[in-house]
Amino acid sequence: MRERITGLVLAGGQGRRLGGRDKGLVMLGGKPLVAHVIDRLAAQVDAVLINANRHPAQYAPLGHPVVEDLRDDFPGPLAGIDAGLSRTAHGLLAVVPCDGPFLPDTLVARLYAAMRAEQAEIAVARAGGELQPVFALVRAELRDALTRFMAGDDRRIAAWFRQHRLAVVDFDDESAFANLNTEADFAAAETRLAARRFARVLGIAGYSGSGKTTLLTRLLPVLRNAGLRVGVLKHAHHQFDIDYPGKDSYELRHAGAYQHVIESGTREADFAALLAIYHAEKARRP
């Protein structure tokens, strides 16, 4: 069983390259930047904390506790981690920056797996050959060690990491760790988000037994790791029925229900919508 993990979003910086604006509250795609990060992180952890030193009242409506640095001189991300370690109720703290809205949805799981496998105290992401030190998983028991480290003159996060057993996890998609630091970065992110609002269709055709399913089972994890949500529409050349006599969905459909949606905590199926997509695609074929 996985240990319980608190997620920490670092939003305590001064936003110098944005003219001193509170970066986490800058709007992106109709909502604050920090909200995009929380959306991606919350599904991977058991609780979320926000490290913010300015405008805590504006962060509060996001629905997660706000923790300020324990020092008032903005000493950097280590101060935010220190504040998170002081408030977490769990044994692990997953740290991400507020300006990384495209972080992988497998980030925490992969960091945790590496930490366990290598018996590490800290696990950190690496992409494009470079460490991504603010995308990390830290054991809460290191809080005293961090406090002692910060009493010195060196506040570099990588220097503190090197004092502990460190696991490094490589990620293929460097763009998932892109930080938004300038107005140009925000404009590019707006374009990237807009592109995701439109469905893209990839068609794969082949004879039975040619390896289509094998290909897809290998391709789907790659697409998901790139931050995409993927659905699959399968064409069948023979008659089939996704309902079976005796099942509620079968009985309700045969009683006259045209629109039928079945849903659980993990997935949903809209039978009429699936059929509509199938027939629309079929009609487009020459």
- Hey, what are 66's tokens? 């706000």
Which of 3.30.70.20, 3.40.50.1970, 3.60.15.10, 3.90.550.10 would CATH assign to domain 5-196?
Answer: 3.90.550.10
Please write the tens of the pLDDT for every residue from 241-264: 666 677 776 776 667 665 556 666
From CA 220, how far away is CA 282, in angstroms rounded? 24
69, two tokens: 């640095």
Note the pLDDT of residue 238.
61
Contacts of 14 (CB under 8 A, 6+ apart): 20, 74
How do residues 65-113 score in pLDDT, each as one tens digit? Answer: 999 987 776 568 999 999 999 999 999 999 999 999 999 999 999 999 9
| Cross-strand partners of 138 | 93, 122
What is the dihedral angle through the alpha carbons of 111, 112, 115, 121, rounded to the nearest 10 degrees? 90
Per domain, the residue ranges of the chain are: 5-196, 212-284
Rounded Cα–Cα distance for residues 100 and 185 (Å):
11
Give the count of alpha carbons within 13 A of 51, CB side only.
35
Residue whose entry in the numeric block shows the structure tokens 């069983």: 1
The Cα 226–Cα 78 span in angstroms is 28
Report, as ranges of residue numbers, the positions in the chain whose pLDDT lies below 70.
Answer: 14-15, 73-75, 196-199, 226-229, 236-244, 249, 252-254, 256-286
